[in-house]
Each structure stands twice: as structure tokens, then as C-alpha cells.
């Protein structure tokens, strides 16, 4: 009991460390983005999204290299994507008078995000069916397969770059670029330290309760590592920057799915995931994505009542995962 309390304290402290490091990272990224005169959409979809996604990337890298738990990182990425789509937009809607979407967000960013979900699922399916050793229970991911989502993300960055070619910034700000880049680098180290502590705590919980690391990644680590995304989007919503608030969510999810998981595969040389456990959770992610697009497209605005619907759907997800963890139901096979 004492050991679990110590690990619970470690989880709380680690989450706070991740929070502090992420706040410093995002502030530096924002200053550098404004200094270089990047468009608002690119700032939200690429710069801020990549910065706020570093905790999830760290969970994959640390889980794979340090603890040999690639499944923990995959669970974190999928769970974080669900949290980002349902909880963060809801919090942003409550924090702003009017959280507006644009046609570009719905028709470009959101639709490309759907493509990223499909590409990752196809990658998993190929690992289960065409790679030697892969079965319907275990998908074997190789560097060759990891290249497919990475190339897809390259296309995403290229499309964002095309939008900047004719962009002329109305104003830029002067900053000490060396200081900002140094702050950004230190922030990355701080976040990695926090993620390591959180992963250790979660693995201890999994061992104590006899539950798989995949489920802990889907819930606890996913929520903790998504806090930076929440801070960015809520702050942007309060400042009436709805585009940044929503594109940060979509850009962060796109980066996590297409980059974070493949990086873990490349670092490990190859990795195996539980395909049977991944199918239903990614199915829920796809459903959450459709709900997000439909709600944001309706009048190009996310209302408070729709935000309540988002939170209710996330509550259903948590209840489902809790029931699985306690063994009350067995809808997620193979765990």
C-alpha cells in the first residue's frame, strides 16, 4: 500500500513537471513562430502541435527504449487522440464566447486527420497480415511499414508549406532567438524527465493490479500528456484565436499518429502490438473523429451544448476502459 502511494505521488509530481516543461516550450515556440512570421494556421497545426505533442512522443520513446513497453506508447497515442478530440475542444468552447471553426479546418485539417487515422490502421493491418510472424492477434511493425505514416506526415507538412508561400505577415516581433531556442531545448529535457517518472508509476500500477500497460496508456498517461495541448487550446480560445485552438488539436493528433508511433518502431528496430486490442480502440477514435467533424461543421461553430456532448462521449470511453480494467466486460480482446 505504501509503495502504491509513493508511485501515486510520483505520478502527480511527474504530471506537474510535464506541465511546467510544456508551458515553457509552448511559450518559446509561440515567440519564435511570431518572430519568423508564420501564418496562424501553420503556427497552430505544425509549430504548436509538434511542441505540445512532445510528451506523447517521449512516452513512446521512453516506453520502448527504457522499459520495453511499446504497447504503452501506442495506448498513450490513441488515448491522447481521443482526449484531444473530445475534452480539449469542449474546454475551449466553455472558455470562449464563441468557438468558431473555418471551412479550411473542416475540409483540410480535419479531413487530413481522417487520412492519418486510416493510414495508421492500414499500417497495423499490414503488420498483422503481411509481415512474417504477424497474426490477427499480433501485428509486427517494421521500419519499412513505419515509413508509410512518416511519408504521409511529410505530405501534410508540404501542404502546410504551400499555404505559406504567398503569405505576408502583417507584423513580426523581435526576440532573443538564442535564448528562446535554448529555453525550448531545456523544456524538452524537462518534459522527458516528467514522462519517465509517469511511465514508471503507471507500470507499477499495472503490475499491482494485474492490468495491461496498454489500458493505462489509453487513460492515465494519455490524459496527463495531453494537458499541454489543453493549455494551448484553452488559452487560444480565451484570446479569441479559435483557429489556433482547433488546429492545435488536429495538428497534434496528426503528428502523434503519423510520427510518434513510427519513431518508436524505428528506435526499436521492430515492434509488436496487440492487434485485437488496437482494433476497437481505434474504432472508437474513428467514431470520435466523425463526431468532431460533424459538430464543428454545423454552423462552423462549437456550442456549449455540443461541448457537453463531447464530454459525455469521453465519459462513456472512460467507463468502457474502467469496466475492461476491472474485468466486468471483455469487449477488447487479447488483453
Dist. CA 145–CA 162, nearest whole Å = 27
The pLDDT of 60-69, averaged and rounded, is 80
> What's the CATH fold of domain 2-164+178-326?
A middle domain of Talin 1 (1.20.1420)
In the prediction, which pLDDT does 161 show? 72
How do residues 125-184 score in pLDDT, each as one tens digit? 999 888 888 787 888 899 999 999 999 988 887 877 776 666 555 666 777 778 888 888
**Other beta carbons within 10 Å of 197:** 20
Dist. CA 136–CA 54, nearest whole Å = 31
Pairing of strands 301-302, 271-274: unpaired
Residue 312 has pLDDT above 90, yes or no: yes
103 and 239 Cβ atoms separated by less than 8 Å: no
3-state SS assignment for residue 25: helix
In the prediction, which pLDDT does 45 show? 55
How do residues 254-296 score in pLDDT, each as one tens digit? 888 898 888 888 887 888 888 887 888 888 999 999 898 888 8
3-state SS assignment for residue 100: strand
Total-model pTM? 0.85
- CA-based Rg of the chain, rounded to a whole angstrom? 19
Dist. CA 178–CA 183, nearest whole Å = 9
How do residues 232-255 score in pLDDT, each as one tens digit? 788 888 888 777 777 778 878 888
Dist. CA 282–CA 288, nearest whole Å = 10
**Distance between alpha carbon 287 and the CA centroid of its chain, in Å?**
16
Dist. CA 278–CA 334, nearest whole Å = 9
Handedness of CA 4, 187, 44, 161 (dihedral sign): negative
| CA nearest to 199, candidates 180, 218, 217, 177 | 217
Extract the C-alpha cell encoding 148.
Answer: 508509410
Dist. CA 208–CA 130, nearest whole Å = 36
How do residues 5-51 score in pLDDT, each as one tens digit? 888 888 889 888 888 887 787 778 777 777 766 665 565 556 666 66
Instruction: Output the CA–CA distances (angstroms, integers) from residue 255 to 57, 228, 249, 279, 326, in the order listed.
Output: 9, 15, 10, 20, 32
Start-to-end C-alpha separation, the chain = 25
In the prediction, which pLDDT does 284 show? 92
Amino acid at each position: 500500500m505504501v509503495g502504491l502511494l509513493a508511485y501515486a505521488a510520483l505520478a502527480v509530481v511527474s504530471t506537474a513537471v510535464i506541465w511546467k516543461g510544456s508551458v515553457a516550450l509552448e511559450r518559446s515556440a509561440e515567440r519564435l513562430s511570431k518572430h519568423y512570421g508564420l501564418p496562424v494556421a501553420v503556427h497552430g497545426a505544425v509549430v504548436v502541435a509538434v511542441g505540445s505533442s512532445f510528451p506523447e512522443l517521449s512516452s513512446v520513446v521512453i516506453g520502448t527504449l527504457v522499459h520495453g513497453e511499446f504497447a504503452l506508447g501506442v495506448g498513450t497515442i490513441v488515448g491522447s487522440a481521443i482526449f484531444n478530440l473530445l475534452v480539449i475542444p469542449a474546454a475551449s468552447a466553455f472558455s470562449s464566447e464563441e468557438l468558431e471553426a473555418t471551412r479550411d479546418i473542416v475540409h483540410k485539417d480535419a479531413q487530413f486527420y481522417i487520412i492519418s487515422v486510416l493510414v495508421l490502421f492500414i499500417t497495423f493491418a499490414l503488420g498483422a497480415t503481411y509481415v512474417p510472424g504477424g497474426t490477427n492477434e499480433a501485428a509486427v511493425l517494421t521500419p519499412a511499414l513505419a515509413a508509410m505514416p512518416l511519408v504521409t506526415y511529410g505530405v501534410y507538412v508540404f501542404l502546410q508549406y504551400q499555404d505559406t508561400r504567398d503569405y505576408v505577415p502583417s507584423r513580426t516581433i523581435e526576440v532573443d532567438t538564442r535564448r528562446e531556442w535554448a529555453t525550448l531545448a531545456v523544456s524538452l529535457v524537462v518534459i522527458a524527465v516528467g514522462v519517465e517518472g509517469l511511465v514508471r508509476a503507471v507500470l507499477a500500477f499495472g503490475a499491482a493490479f494485474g492490468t495491461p500497460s496498454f489500458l493505462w496508456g489509453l487513460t492515465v498517461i494519455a490524459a496527463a500528456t495531453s494537458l499541454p495541448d489543453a493549455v494551448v487550446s484553452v488559452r487560444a480560445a480565451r484570446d479569441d484565436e479559435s483557429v489556433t485552438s482547433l488546429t492545435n488539436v488536429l495538428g497534434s493528433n496528426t503528428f502523434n499518429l503519423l510520427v510518434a508511433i513510427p519513431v518508436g518502431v524505428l528506435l526499436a528496430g521492430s515492434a509488436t502490438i496487440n492487434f485485437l486490442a488496437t482494433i476497437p480502440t481505434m474504432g472508437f477514435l474513428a467514431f470520435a473523429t466523425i463526431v468532431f467533424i460533424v459538430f464543428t461543421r454545423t454552423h462552423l461553430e462549437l456550442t456549449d451544448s455540443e461541448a457537453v456532448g463531447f464530454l459525455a462521449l469521453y465519459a462513456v470511453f472512460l467507463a468502457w476502459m474502467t469496466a475492461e480494467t476491472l474485468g466486468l466486460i471483455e469487449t477488447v480482446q487479447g488483453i
